[in-house]
Chain A
Amino acid sequence: DAGVTQSPTHLIKTRGQHVTLRCSPISGHKSVSWYQQVLGQGPQFIFQYYEKEERGRGNFPDRFSARQFPNYSSELNVNALLLGDSALYLCASSRTDRGMSGYTFGSGTRLTVV
């Protein structure tokens, strides 16, 4: 089985632009969570989606939004990019919304804002 796949792997954007990051969960996993990892820090929770509904939101501004599609894949959108948005964006999938069987992470998208 394929693991969690994220695209693109790397991305360079200019301040003020918009970006869309994509995630495909493991087959059979219905929950997708997004995390931001700034260099030297642990991942920070952004969103969780389960069965296409938002189940949790972290302390991020409204410039960050996400959605989940019927096939359980997900997109993370960031508007009006700031230099501080430069980070590794990780997607994690789990079978259920409570993650009792654990969470599997993708390899992430490295976003650089210049």
Chain B
Amino acid sequence: EDKVVQSPLSLVVHEGDTVTLNCSYEVTNFRSLLWYKQEKKAPTFLFMLTSSGIEKKSGRLSSILDKKELFSILNITATQTGDSAVYLCAVAPAGTASKLTFGTGTRLQVTL
């Protein structure tokens, strides 16, 4: 059974800090790893990673995948209060069914 473990479960940082969120996974036939931000209800898409060692960036957020060690990190630099949310990591297997397996998420709170 596919499995995703995220750490830490929660953290509180001050505005301006840099944070690193971790995601390790076990999947039978890996196709991609995805990061989502969930503030209230709808998870919003951040990144999809399929290739190892290639960093994806979007503004202050970046992510990288290590397919050999089966993990990914999500970095957020110069955090802002608007970054407060639950960050979800998910893996998608190869094959015809798009079944995402999610971790429990990391709850990030950014304080002033």
Contacts and interface: CB of A to CB of B under 8 A. Distances in A.
Contacts, number: 76
B45 A99 contact: no
B48 A102 contact: yes
A41 B105 CA distance: 7
Contact of A107 (B42, B45, B90): B42
Contacts of B100: 33, 35, 43, 45, 92, 99, 103
Interface residues of B, number: 26
Question: What size tier do the contact residues of chain A reach?
Answer: 20 to 34
A106 B44 CA distance: 9
A103 B98 contact: yes
A105 B42 contact: yes
B57 interface: no
Contacts of B102: 35, 42-44
A48 B99 contact: yes
B34 A102 contact: yes
A86 interface: no
A103 B48 CA distance: 10
Interface in A51-108: 55-56, 58, 88, 90, 92, 94, 97-100, 102-108
A3 B42 CA distance: 11
A97 B96 contact: yes
Interface string B18-50: 000000000000011010100011111100100
